[in-house]
Amino acid sequence: MTDAVGSIDMPDAEDESRDKKPRKGGKRGKKGPFGRLALFYRQIVAELRKVVWPTRSQLTTYTTVVIIFVVVMIGLVTVIDFGFQEAVKYVFG
């Protein structure tokens, strides 16, 4: 069985980048705190542009489903709580 080219467990597969001097920080290392803040803001805007935003009808549907689920869970917890309350009253009198 042969290993893949460039596999980690091949000791003689040397990486050529080891001879080069490592860079410190790249683009961010050369900018001041305001430059890094501006870069961070630009990255946030770029990521938000990639988001697929729901339509109004999808948003209404999702909101309705969440509200109905929460109401059902409130009812379930209320019934269980009432049952425990009655059980404690019966046991401890």
Summarised one tens digit per residue, pLDDT across range 21-50 is 665 655 555 678 899 999 999 999 999 999
Helices (H) and strands (E) in the chain, counts: 3, 0
> Considering the chain, what percentage of its residues have pLDDT values greater than 70?
68
Domain extent at residue 74:
27-92
Asked if residue 49 is part of any domain, the answer here is yes
Domains identified in the chain, total number: 1
How far apart CA 85 and CA 81 sit, in angstroms, is 6
Model-wide pTM > 0.95? no
Asked if residue 75 is part of any domain, the answer here is yes
